[in-house]
Amino acid sequence: MFHLTKKLEYSLLAFSYMAQLLPESRWVTAKEISDHYQIPYEVVARCLQHLARAGVLHSWIGAQGGYRLKAGWEKKSLLELYEILEGPMNLVRCLDHDGDCSHVARCTLPVLMRPLNQKLKKFFQDLVLRDVLNLKEVINESKVTTPS
Amino acid sequence: MFHLTKKLEYSLLAFSYMAQLLPESRWVTAKEISDHYQIPYEVVARCLQHLARAGVLHSWIGAQGGYRLKAGWEKKSLLELYEILEGPMNLVRCLDHDGDCSHVARCTLPVLMRPLNQKLKKFFQDLVLRDVLNLKEVINESKVTTPS
DNA sequence: AAAAATTCCGACAAATTTTGTCGGGATTTG
DNA sequence: CAAATCCCGACAAAATTTGTCGGAATTTTT
Ligand code: FES
Ligand code: FES
């Protein structure tokens, strides 16, 4: 129940990797990350795609393309990453949009869990990448240009 | 990744149920709880057994036997319940005793996650049943006696 | 003493979720 | 045009969670 999913693990590694070579400010491919950490290409690739679509990364299609961190990335919280990669964070499904919780009989959990769920989300909202990745200061990434 | 497991859900319901009829101070059977919430008997029964073994509940074998809350139960934290039912709470497996994490290649997650994991545990340690179940005050359960 | 009610326990089966793979399409570079 | 790369969804495999079963032990009731 509390293990990070691979999506989150791989994404964090990707952020860590890109943050380390930040001054370089170049486009990093999914392949490069997958090779470096020996993790499955397709999986990490999809994570990066989602993160790009959600606006946390820049992406550039084509040869010499890849991904790079987008300004403000270091202030993104684990809650945001989680919801990008996994959907809404909820302790019980009935708090979800589609409350498909089965044992509705006399279940008091939704009402009991709502405040708790709020606290949990707050907890992860306060954990931002800068702190999680333990970065001293974030070098300002240069303006995004075309690869060549 | 953040959905409560059924074990936790059923256990919380069981606590909730037993707390509600606290002044009665009688032995509650697994069957009674399973019937009341329409949840699978064997599953909730096993949870109660674990909780009893861990010292959160009293149990009494035999006809008219069952379970009852043990003094101090309301101060038990979600962390304690989690670890009784599911084992150690860890964001990544390598923080576990048997660090069987596969992608050890250059994975920086264990070192990054250790402080975070501590915070998470603290978070759940501070959530005790009294608060989670939203109890005003806990009626002192009477001394445990034999069923008859 | 036998029967009934109940906790206790582990092995297994089924269901669900997570993780990984594949086949292709679109865009850019050279 | 070919190569590199992002993009996307459908599917397969693996892992985990959830539920079921068959019993054994203990106590109460008849
Ligand atoms: S947890 Fe959703 S109805 Fe019980
Ligand atoms: S998370 Fe354990 S080695 Fe990467």
CA dist B84 and B55 (Å) reads: 10
How high is the pLDDT of residue B58? Answer: 98
Q: Which residue has the higher pLDDT, B132 or A139?
A: B132
Atom 3 of ligand 2, nearest CA residue: B104
How high is the pLDDT of residue B92? Answer: 94
The type of residue at A37 is: Y
Give the list of residues 6+ apart from residue B110 with CB closer than 8 angstroms, or none. Answer: B92, B94, B95, B99, B101
Q: Which nucleotides of D are covered by protein (CB under 7 A)?
A: 2-9, 17-22, 25-29
Residue A112 Cβ inside 6 Å of ligand 1? The answer reads no
pLDDT digits (tens, 9 = 90+) for B31-61: 999 999 999 999 999 999 999 999 999 999 9
Ligand 2, residue B95: give the atom nearest the CA.
2
CA dist B48 and B65 (Å) reads: 13
Note the pTM of the prediction, 2 decimals.
Answer: 0.94
pLDDT digits (tens, 9 = 90+) for B84-101: 999 999 999 888 765 567
How high is the pLDDT of residue A101? Answer: 74
Q: How many CB pairs under 8 A join A and B?
A: 94
How high is the pLDDT of residue B25? Answer: 81
**Residue B136 pLDDT greater than 90, yes or no:** no
CA dist A13 and A29 (Å) reads: 13
How high is the pLDDT of residue B103? Answer: 62
Interface residues of A toward B, Cβ cutoff 8 Å, are 1-5, 8-9, 12-13, 16, 36-39, 82, 86, 89-93, 103, 105-109, 112-113, 116, 119-120, 123, 127, 132-134
What is the mean pLDDT of the segment spanning A97-106?
Answer: 68
Ligand 1, residue A102: give the atom nearest the CA.
3
The type of residue at B52 is: A
Q: Name the phi and psi angles at A85, rounded to 5.
A: -85, -30
Give the list of residues 6+ apart from residue B122 with CB closer than 8 angstroms, or none. Answer: none
Cβ distance B116 to A106 less than 8 Å, yes or no, reads: no
Is the minimum distance from the CB of B59 to strand C below 7 Å? yes
- Is residue B147 very low, low, confident or very high in pLDDT (cuts 50, 70, 90)? confident
- Is residue A67 very low, low, confident or very high in pLDDT (cuts 50, 70, 90)? very high
SS3 A71: coil
How high is the pLDDT of residue B67? Answer: 98
pLDDT digits (tens, 9 = 90+) for A137-146: 776 665 667 7
How high is the pLDDT of residue A27? Answer: 98
How high is the pLDDT of residue B131? Answer: 97
Chain A: residue nearest B124 by CA? A120
**Considering only A29-33, A96-100, B79-83, which range has the smallest mean pLDDT?**
A96-100
Longest alpha-carbon distance in chain B: 63
Give the list of residues 6+ apart from residue B17 with CB closer than 8 angstroms, or none. Answer: B28, B33, B36, B37
Is the minimum distance from the CB of A140 to strand C below 7 Å? no
Ligand 1, residue A93: give the atom nearest the CA.
2
